[in-house]
Amino acid sequence: MRPRRPLALVCVSAALLSACGVLPGGSDGRHTVTVWLMQNSASPEFLRRFTADFERTHKDIRVDIRIQQWTGIVDKVQTALKSDSAGAPDVIEVGNTQVPQYVEGGRLTDLTLESMRDWGKEHWLPGLAEPGRDDSRQYGIPWYAANRVVIYRKDLFRKAGITSPPRTRDEWLADTEKLNSGGNQGIYLAGQDWYTLSGFIWDEGGDLAVETDAAWQGALDSPAALRGMDFYRRLQALGAGPVDADEEHPPQAQVFASGQVAQLIAVPGLAQSIVQENPELKDEIGYFPVPGRTAAHPGAVFTGGSDLVVPQNTDRPYDAAAVVGALAGAKWDTELARTMNYVPNKTTLAGAVAGSEGVAAMAAGAAQGRATPNTPDWPAVEAANPIKGYMTKVLRGADPATEARRASRRITELLAPDFG
């Protein structure tokens, strides 16, 4: 692969591109940019319209979008990042928390200058931007987000005399206690829903793990993290969620649809599954952001979603950056959010989804969103997941501080495998 200049030294016209020695990528003289996007991230109609518009405004670039499956994608991307093949992708959609794995080894293009100069990084959702950053360098460009909200039954709220959703944690606990009566569950919250716990910990100023002197250590035993776990314990007790299972065992949509459950915490899209199970609830489902400690802003939530990255081994860095800039730009990012019921990548674009109650609640929470610790070793923690065991023990009455220290030690071991 030929050496390349920094991406910032971009040629500004087709004539200059020719002078720079960029070779055509197709029989019509266009340069082909191969883009890997994940299945169901965007509709075929959206991709058709984006491609037609981009190629109309970029006469020298052809976009070749190839849809990938989530299963096995990490290994496939790692292989592609090491490939010298002409068919390797030039732009890749990756899960936001996967970016640190790909940054390791220096196989992604540094897009910091473009982010600051052209792409408005100061307005990006923190839960998408932070995992895409390594020190001061930006490698992952936020594309779209999704996060948990409170899904609730309007009819049960009315019967309990609750006229508006709670805006603070104290109000939430008080309302949930009212709802948890007469055979109803105030909330269905499984005991091992560690993503929801993470938000409560972040809201208290704590974290799951922290980096000190270039080493990561578990932090569930900090005072802030213990306060987050205590709030989780109090909320979870106002329902009949199992203490030894997560939200998928049994699937919480089925529980909500079949029982007298007033609330659950999930992405708004779960409401579709609920209505499929119980069509009578179609007009009784509402949404509100996870409440915060004060009414000033919603609570912190785990933000999932996707970033766009450009591999170092691309021969089309300037063209790849143009595609990323268009996909993540206001026009098409807003269109994607409206089409797919996502949260746009910037807080300034939240108004674009204000017409959908569920997505609007999600966007309000996303402004306070976070992601898992920004280390390539975090997947090892999720695989072993000592957080789940810790939660179950506390909910069964074990001493929180003692169990938090044990779980934190295990997280530290998993984040430092060479020393564990």
According to DSSP, the residues that pair with 344 across neighbouring strands are 144
Phi, psi of 190, deg, nearest 5: -65, 150
Tell me the pLDDT band of 214, cut-offs 50, 70 and 90. Answer: confident
Q: What is the mean pLDDT of the segment spanning 110-134?
A: 96
For residue 419, pLDDT beyond 70: no
Q: Which of 258, 262, 309 is nearest to 88 (CA)?
A: 309
d(CA 193, CA 357): 24
In the chain, pLDDT over 90 holds for what percent of residues? 89
Minimum mean pLDDT among 26-40, 138-152, 231-245, 273-287: which range?
A: 26-40
Q: What is the CA radius of gyration of the chain?
A: 23
For residue 25, pLDDT beyond 80: no
d(CA 379, CA 216): 13
Q: What is the pTM of this model?
A: 0.89
d(CA 238, CA 228): 16
Residue recorded with tokens 């979603």: 305
Q: Which amino acid is at 65?
A: I
Q: What are 49-73's pLDDT values in tens digits?
A: 999 999 999 999 999 999 999 999 9
pLDDT given at position 28: 60
Q: What are 75-84's pLDDT values in tens digits?
A: 999 999 998 8
Q: What are 127-169's pLDDT values in tens digits?
A: 999 999 998 999 999 999 999 999 999 999 999 999 999 999 9
For residue 3, pLDDT beyond 50: no
Q: What is the mean pLDDT of the segment spanning 332-347?
A: 96
Query: How large is the angle between the packed helices 194-203 and 223-236, nearest 10 degrees?
Result: 130
Helices (H) and strands (E) in the chain, counts: 18, 14
